[in-house]
Chains A and B, each alone.
Chain A
Amino acid sequence: MSGAVALSAFLAASIEVVEMVAIVVAVGVARSWRASLLGAAGGLAVLGASVGALGPALGSVPLEPLRLVVGALLLVFGLGWLRKGVLRISQEGWMAGAVGDDDVEAGPGAGFDATAFVLSFKGVSLEGLEIAIIVVALGAGAGAVGSAAIGAGAAVVLLGALGALTHRLMARIPRRVLQLGVGIMLAAFGTFWAVEGVGGHWPANEAAIPALGALYLGAATVLLARARGWRAATGL
């Protein structure tokens, strides 16, 4: 057991785990916990099969095409939710009405929420693949794959538990506000991955993700004010 390798894997994997957990929790709260967790489980199952089949060859899997496809889909989907959040909040306000009032209208319905499943599946399988590559790269380089796996596994368990604790807090937020927030988050992750997928490089690496979130939050704030003005001008 190499403590240094385990710690390095823990720290390196933590960044990916935070992204993975954020998507699963956000989709679970905003859409459907059942579908989001099933999507996460499906993503982990595909990941486990990939790791088992490829083993050390995992390090040579090209990530750019995956990042492009997943990033572009998350971005388009996130922009859709951002738009809906802005339209609803500009019409109804941030907190008007009881929590959950708009669930009946905007919720995923009684059936299985395939959209939530796909969102979580994609987030978990892509981030999980990156974690597996970190484990293989750090572990194989130091001859301690087991230690790297333990470090990365600890990151998944600890940060996953933290994510589970936040869901009660998030469940108290009105759906339209969640829709705006989750839209901003998905758009930020999607933009980051899609640009990396076309071969672009971010000036500050993963620190660009919160910066993108701030950009989209700023845009949403401006658009909320503008949308109220447009509504007033059109008499809606």
Chain B
Amino acid sequence: MVRAASAVARFWAGFVLGDDPLAAVIVAVALAASWVLAASGLPAWWLLPAAAVLAVALTVRRGVRSGRRSVTNR
């Protein structure tokens, strides 16, 4: 039971965080900021795409700098 729960937790952690958790962190912050904008009645649609582009640019740069290719099965 514990082993199964641990496997499920590992799967979801890998699923959400991926090879570079920076992308998940940027998306989470951008979603929180988008919620604040939407709740204030301001346009919120532009923030998440901009944050996503920033996230992928930063994680690609980190991937190149680390000098290793991602070979996980996700």
Chain A residues near B (Cβ < 8 Å): 68, 72-73, 75-77, 79-80, 82-84, 86-88, 90-91, 105-109, 114-115, 118, 187, 191, 194-195, 198-203, 208, 212, 215-216, 219-220, 223, 226-227, 230-231, 234, 236
CB-CB under 8 A from B35, the residues of chain A are 198-199
Contact with A along B30-74 (1 / 0, CB 8 A): 010011011100011100110011011101110111010111011
| Contacts A115-B15, A200-B44; A230 near B64 (Cβ below 8 A) | yes
CB-CB under 8 A from A107, the residues of chain B are 73
Q: Which of A77, A114, A223 lies in contact with B18, CB distance below 8 A?
A: A77
Asked if B56 contacts A219 (CB within 8 A), the reply is yes
Taken together as a complex, chains A and B put the C-alpha atoms of A105 and B74 apart, in Å, by: 11
Taken together as a complex, chains A and B put the C-alpha atoms of A236 and B69 apart, in Å, by: 11
| Contacts A73-B15, A108-B73; A83 near B56 (Cβ below 8 A) | yes
CB-CB under 8 A from A105, the residues of chain B are 71
Taken together as a complex, chains A and B put the C-alpha atoms of A114 and B27 apart, in Å, by: 23
Secondary structure call for the B interface:
helix
| Contacts A72-B31, A76-B18; A84 near B70 (Cβ below 8 A) | yes
Q: A93 → chain B, closest Cβ, in Å?
A: 14
Taken together as a complex, chains A and B put the C-alpha atoms of A203 and B61 apart, in Å, by: 32
CB-CB under 8 A from A230, the residues of chain B are 61, 64-65
Q: A44 → chain B, closest Cβ, in Å?
A: 21
Asked if A83 contacts B20 (CB within 8 A), the reply is yes
Secondary structure call for the A interface:
helix
- Residues of B within 8 Å of A, CB-based: how many? 38
CB-CB under 8 A from A114, the residues of chain B are 11
Q: List 24 A-B contacts (CB under 8 A).
A: A72-B27, A73-B15, A76-B16, A76-B24, A79-B56, A79-B59, A80-B18, A82-B56, A83-B20, A88-B69, A106-B71, A109-B73, A115-B73, A118-B15, A195-B34, A195-B45, A198-B31, A198-B38, A200-B38, A200-B44, A201-B44, A203-B45, A216-B56, A219-B56
Asked if A200 contacts B23 (CB within 8 A), the reply is no
Asked if B49 contacts A80 (CB within 8 A), the reply is no
CB-CB under 8 A from B34, the residues of chain A are 194-195, 198, 200
Asked if A201 contacts B45 (CB within 8 A), the reply is yes
Asked if B16 contacts A73 (CB within 8 A), the reply is yes
| Contacts A87-B69, A199-B35, A223-B60; A212 near B49 (Cβ below 8 A) | yes
Q: Identify which of B31, B49, B63 gathers the most chain A CB atoms within 10 Å of its CB.
A: B49
Asked if A76 contacts B70 (CB within 8 A), the reply is no
Question: Besides the contacts A79-B52, A118-B15, A227-B61, what 16 more A-B pairs have beta carbons closer than 8 Å?
Answer: A76-B16, A83-B23, A84-B70, A86-B60, A87-B60, A105-B71, A107-B73, A109-B73, A199-B38, A208-B45, A219-B56, A226-B57, A226-B60, A231-B64, A234-B64, A234-B67
Taken together as a complex, chains A and B put the C-alpha atoms of A107 and B72 apart, in Å, by: 9
